[in-house]
Amino acid sequence: AAFKALGYDLELTSYDDQASATLAPQIARTIVADKNVLGVVGALNSSVSNVIAQAFGPAKLAMISPASTGDQLTQNGWNHFSRVVAPDSAQGVAAADYIAEELKAGSVVVISDNTAYGNGLTRVLMANLKKRKVPVAAYMGASTPAQIAEAVKRVKASSADVVYFGGTDDTGSQLVKALRAAGVTATFMGGDGLDSPSFLQRAGIAGAGVVYSTVFGPVNAFSNALDFSDRYQAAYKTKPSGVAVYAYDATNTLLSAIKAAAGNSRTLPTRAEVSAAVRKVNLPACFSADKSRCATITGAIAFSDSGERLRSRVMIMRFDDVLQPQVAKVQTVNAESLK
């Protein structure tokens, strides 16, 4: 209705990329060819977002991802790509803060699963531990049974307070089980690769006390999400996920930019004008008593010159003794600290 008053018929058109970077080029070409498309919310996967954003470049078509966390996405000099979710590197910043301030660790052993994700996450963590003057007792890769066994020996020899693991849930579950079986009681912490039901299925009781960071977290952790959750449940007959909350904010961000680019004109803005307007968006955090009027759920939204959210949230979660995830800390990470 708001766009109708401006003289536009606003429609939502959806495309299914099937989480496939292979299918992404054709979808991108189809979208670019439709001149009525002024902006896109998506994609979910970083690999897909990378392909689509490249294809959107010549057309200057605005793209706001609610879920793609790959660090490289905002390092390409793209003026049309932005995201409302924290990047992978923000987890390294938040984890280092938690290790230094909450766990007060004397030393940390850092282990990667030898993947690009694990290597990137652990490198950012160690750089931030160095800033906080927290010693790294050892750094190693572990992805095979032999490497995991060797890692356990080195952890025991180090007497470190914290073992930080950068990697996926399958290797992470093997590692924490091996550590606990060897009598290692150090806090086991990881990134959102551990934010998976299969981690607990594999780790079992060894998962108790494990700490991990995640860029999404439970919806009820957002103070003004109750009204949104009720409306979402009524519309879709299911509870919203963290991704749904960020998609809502990405959509409102894009609509705000289109309105700003249009101004008082009855002529549609250009794609370049919309992309420029996205970077100028400044949506405040919502403190209204009437939550139905809130433009954002996840807090204030504004972007850096690279398309990174100026202030993004990372949640530190901890599995309790009955393996239920509890919010240990909500960390706000400034885009400036990621440079």
14: pLDDT strictly greater than 80: yes
In this prediction, residue 255 has a pLDDT band, given cuts at 50, 70 and 90, of very high
Give residue 237's region: left, alpha or beta (phi > 0; psi -120 to 50).
Answer: left
| Cα-based torsion angle of the residue sequence 236, 237, 239, 240 in order, rounded to the nearest 10 degrees | 0
Pair 315, 195: CB distance under 8 Å:
no
311: pLDDT strictly greater than 90: yes
- With a CB cutoff of 8 Å and minimum separation 6, the contacts of 19 are 44, 45, 48
The pLDDT value recorded for residue 263 is 85
177: pLDDT strictly greater than 70: yes
Q: Give residue-wise pLDDT tens across range 266-297.
A: 788 999 999 999 999 999 987 655 555 678 99
Q: Give residue-wise pLDDT tens across range 198-211.
A: 999 999 999 999 99
In this prediction, residue 213 has a pLDDT band, given cuts at 50, 70 and 90, of very high
In this prediction, residue 120 has a pLDDT band, given cuts at 50, 70 and 90, of confident
Q: What angle do CA 197, 164, 193 make, to 5 degrees?
A: 30
In this prediction, residue 227 has a pLDDT band, given cuts at 50, 70 and 90, of confident
Beta bridge partners of 298: none
CA dist 207 and 180 (Å) reads 10
Helix axes of 116-131 and 88-97: crossing angle, nearest 10 degrees: 40
In this prediction, residue 336 has a pLDDT band, given cuts at 50, 70 and 90, of confident
- Model-level pTM? 0.86
**How large a percentage of the chain has pLDDT more than 70?**
98
> Which two structure tokens, joined as six digits, stand for 1?
């209705």
Pair 17, 43: CB distance under 8 Å:
yes
The chain-wide mean pLDDT, for the chain, equals: 93
Q: From the CB of residue 170, how many other CB atoms can be counted at a distance below 10 Å?
A: 15
Of 25, 50, 53, 51, whose CA–CA distance to 39 is shortest?
53
CA dist 60 and 54 (Å) reads 10
The pLDDT value recorded for residue 200 is 94
CA dist 88 and 117 (Å) reads 8
The pLDDT value recorded for residue 6 is 84
- Judging by DSSP bridges, how do beta strands 311-319 and 325-334 pair with one another? antiparallel
**DSSP-derived secondary structure letter, 86:** P
In this prediction, residue 338 has a pLDDT band, given cuts at 50, 70 and 90, of confident
